[in-house]
Amino acid sequence: MPPTASADLGPLAALEPKRRWWCLALVAATAFMVGLDFLAVSLALPRMALHFGVGITLASKVTAVYLLVGVCLFPVGKGLVRRMGHKRLLLWGVGLFWVGSLLCGLSPGMGELVAARAVQGLGAALMGAAGLALVGPDRGLGLAALAGALGAMAGAVLGALVAGHLGWRPVFWLSLPLGAAVVLAGLKLLPASPPANRESSLDLVGALLLMGGLYFVISALDLGKAHGPADLRPWLSLALGVGCLATLLPWERRAPEPIVLLTALRERGLAWGLASLFCWAALTGAALFLLPFYLIDLLGLTTLTAGLLLALVPATALLLGRALGWLTEAWGSGHLALSLGLGALAGVVGVEQAFSLSLPGSLVRGGVHFTQAGLPLDALEAAFGHAFILIPALALAAAACARLSRRVRR
């Protein structure tokens, strides 16, 4: 017998319909906050870099640290749900995200700003894990995708308006009223959920090894460009990163509840799907981070115009996501839809002229120049043009590999 709609709602299934819908709205509000913050902050990055007098390399840490903490600690959040309960963890996540947002806007320097973004990333990880557990994975993913896309659209427009008229600091405070409302309403509306297992295992060491490994490898590339290969610092950072990642593999084999399921990677098709998805995510994240610099600093567009253009990306993902569901059912249709949204934006801003350039040389040259404070026109256009070509291709590859893996498992 197929599961009923109420069964998909997890702990909310026993609530009366009106209260259940209010709880769903609260969970959707947390995903909306994350989407709002991401694009709004991306649009404010050029002003942040100018204010602190840093180049694009240091400015990238504002986004990179947030994403690393959020993604790597999300599996730990799933274990914390069993230890703390859905309601308590969700409210803690919203509270941490709220505090992190407040501190970001008050940060006196780049170091404090990056640390505050790490707090935001932790809050986002806890909110996401608790929200999925509270609503149920089937509906939770769709609800998060819908609310996140709407939040990103709002963040692109509101972030552009606030950054253009009030500066970059208030951009971080856009989510504060909604976050406070979620905490106050959640205390009353969310159902009490006692911990399922207070002794549930948490693979915090694995999460920290993964996060540290990725961070030090990325930092090694930045340090190598800034100080040259003769300097000791990039090699030390690279050694630390490789050491963390090398230690991660044997640790995950012994961990009771590992964050990386090594046995699943042996399935035919799944490993290729994950590799394609990783490449897609890397290109997409880089494009979304660099687009504000491209549109504002290079093309000379106003912050508001850049925000309206960036709003096309989540809007396209929202409109095409369900229509493309038949093609990407294994991973979710949002990946391909977001890729097509970036491709559409590429046509709007006119970077299609770079498509005829040499792909390998342009990507290498563009990747090298992206780590500099200056943004050379030819390198930026070339790398952006080819990235926009590769993103939809990699999204299709990930979808195809995932479908193959799903058929094999059946």
| Domain match, 279 and 378 both | yes
DSSP per-residue string spanning 85-139: -HHHHHHHHHHHHHHHHHHHHH-SSHHHHHHHHHHHHHHHHHHHHHHHHHH-HHH
For the chain, the helix, strand and coil percentages under 3-state DSSP, each to the nearest 5: 80, 0, 20
d(CA 23, CA 343): 36
| Domain match, 179 and 310 both | no
| Domain match, 339 and 385 both | yes
- pLDDT per residue over 61-115, tens digit each? 888 889 889 888 888 888 888 888 888 899 999 999 999 999 999 999 998 999 9
d(CA 105, CA 93): 19
Structural domain ending residue among the three candidates 160, 195, 230 = 195
Q: What is the pTM of this model?
A: 0.79
- pLDDT per residue over 148-180, tens digit each? 888 988 998 999 999 988 999 999 999 999 999
Q: Considering its fold, how many domains does the chain have in total?
A: 3
* Residue 278 belongs to domain spanning: 264-410
| Domain containing residue 3: CATH number | 1.20.1250.20
| Domain match, 172 and 288 both | no
| Domain match, 276 and 210 both | no
| Domain match, 182 and 292 both | no
Structural domain ending residue among the three candidates 236, 255, 274 = 255
| Domain match, 191 and 236 both | no
- pLDDT per residue over 208-223, tens digit each? 888 888 888 888 877 7
| Domain match, 75 and 187 both | yes
d(CA 178, CA 35): 13
| Domain match, 171 and 230 both | no
Is residue 378 over pLDDT 60? Answer: no
| Domain match, 245 and 268 both | no
CB 400 within 8 A of CB 279: no
| Domain match, 175 and 245 both | no
- pLDDT per residue over 30-39, tens digit each? 999 998 998 8
d(CA 278, CA 275): 5
Interacting residues of 186 by C-beta distance below 8 A, sequence separation 6+: 26, 87, 90, 91, 94
